[in-house]
Structure formats: C-alpha cells, structure tokens
Amino acid sequence: MKKLTTPLTKEKVRELHAGDTVLLSGTIYTARDAAHKRIVELLDKGEPLPLDLKDAVIYYVGPTPAPPGRVIGSAGPTTSGRMDAYAPRLIAEGETGMIGKGLRTDAVVQAMQEHTAVYFAATGGAGALLSSRILEAEVIAWEDLGTEALRRLKVQDLPLTVVIDCAGHDLYKEAPLQYKKG
C-alpha cells in the first residue's frame, strides 16, 4: 500500500504501477461530464478556470446531499467513459490523476502516456464508505449543476487502485490475461 499526498506531481505518477493500491490524501476536485464540458469551453475561450489543473486529481463523482453531521453524502465513482471526450485535453493542460470506474479509450491512455498521468479506480458501490474519507467539501463553481457542480474536496487516506499507469499498463486488460495463464 502506497501513501500519496496531493499535489500529484509527475514524479509521483512515475512511481505508480497498474495494480498498486494507494491511500490518497490532500486536495482533489470533483467533476462529471457537465463540468468537464464547461472546463473545456473555458479553455477554448482562453478564459481562467475555477481550478488549477497543474498536478490536479479529478474524481468523477456526483455526491448525494450531506446528511446531518457530515460534510458530504455518498460519494461513489461514476463511469469514467463519459469524461473520455474531455480527458485528453485536461491531461494536456496539467491534470495528472483521474478517479473513477470502468474502461478508458485509447485516446485517454495515449494522453496519459504523453503527459504523465494516472487513472485510479475507486470501488463502485462503496460510496458511503468512500465519503467517510472526505474531510471537507466545497462547491467552487457551477452550483447550478447540482450534484455535478465542481467541488474541492479534502480527503484523508482515500483507498484507490492504480488501474492505468503512465506507461499505459492497463489492469482491466492485463489482469484477465494473468488469470488465464493460471
């Protein structure tokens, strides 16, 4: 088990390998497809972003409302493929980490290799458990998107698995081959 703290520099990313388990602490951001679309629109217009993408980690999550006494509700990962149209651009702009679940396109993996980024999986169906690792949550942009608003989170020991590393090794593709070999 590796312990990581943000910012997630390229040097830290290079030390990660598909299959590694990680406990991530520090500041991360939430964004789903609607927020990703707005980020890319701002980039296209040359306008300032509400977050700094350099060495940033974005969690693909739309958390539920916070129950009394909690900073956030259930915070399980959403399917990453919905962000694949936008991810290569954000990676090229400095994003070094993505958290979600599910397969990624070849274009995303190629951008990860070219710009040194990593894709982490968070356990689907464990949103209540994952939310217990979130210490602070603040909407920083696009409150009109509701659950898909851009948020800044402070996390402590968020449990993740490196699914695709910056060399392009993909646990989703390689693990079944290892299993078949016996």
Active site residues per annotation: 36
Is the torsion defined by CA of 149, 12, 176, 89 positive or negative? positive
Other Cβ atoms less than 10 A from the Cβ of 106: the count is 9
